Amino acid sequence: MAKLALCIGINDYPGTENDLTGCVNDAHDWAAELGKRGFTVNLLLDAAATKVAMVTAMVQTIASARSGDLVVFTYSGHGTWVPDLSGDEPDGRDEALCPWDIAQEQALLDDEIEAIFTKRASGVRILLISDSCHSGSVTRGDDSDLDPGLPRARFLPPQVWMPADQLGNVAQRPKHLLGGLARSGGDLLLAGCTDGQFSWDTRFRDRPNGAFTFYALKTLSRLSATASYQDWMKAISPSYLPTNQLPQDPQLFGSRTARHWQVFA
């Protein structure tokens, strides 16, 4: 069985005045962890992560996978939305990831991700880990690792990059930002937050990271060798997220069978 991974991290969003700080570190951290677990890993960072490059790398990764192989995509960066033109979204919006060239109207739509994922060979498993957009409940999670100071939301309002005449009458932030990604055709989606929440870009021990990525990797190191994705998610939340400063509830989407697969095996 081959294990293939593509780790994407984008801090730099030219033309938007909405740069982030922890996404490139996230990508490096995921790549290091997956490499230790036997994955062949490719990285796309900042200017290398244009929409064309992201699509090409995703297509090539899936095309090289065979039955029984595991493909993992990690994405750290902004999320956004666009008006739904195909009529398949109840809220009138398509969810999207934000490539480096988003300011040139280069959003990567959930519909496009679905089309990429459906080209996989039979028996190929796909896991998407998204530490991006999508403000919510406040609980007593442990935020002792968090440096002082306010985190920044990983959500890029479409008004920042989309011409006003294309926004239509859906100019407010959608309530269901994860819906499309959850239906994108992969077996599992690990997401940093629920619909209606943000994933937060912040700093731990003077090093920028996404909150979800930081706690996902912290808890991963403590899991038993036979732990499932469901076990992993329970270790993250509510023990670490959400907190007063990081009001995000990580989510796991997928079939009951997939949720109980052994992590990265």
**Under a CB-based contact definition with an 8 Å cutoff, are residues 53 and 108 in contact?**
no
**Gap between the Cα atoms of 38 and 221, Å rounded:** 15
Instruction: Please state, for a pLDDT cut of 70, what percent of the chain lies above it.
Output: 81
* Residue linked to tokens 């499309």: 180
Q: Which of 78, 98, 134, 193 is catalytic?
A: 78
pTM value? 0.86
7 is catalytic: no
Pair type for strands 3-9 and 70-76: parallel
Q: Which residue has the higher pLDDT, 263 or 111?
A: 263
78 is catalytic: yes
Q: Which residue has the higher pLDDT, 136 or 14?
A: 14
Q: Which of 7, 23, 98, 133 is catalytic?
A: 133
Q: Which residue has the higher pLDDT, 171 or 11?
A: 11
**Gap between the Cα atoms of 66 and 208, Å rounded:** 36
User: What are the structural domains, with CATH classification, of the chain?
Assistant: 3-259 (3.40.50.1460)
Quick one: which of 2, 121, 6, 139 has its CA closest to 61?
6
Q: pLDDT digit string (tens) for 118-156?
A: 999 999 999 999 998 742 222 233 455 555 555 777 888
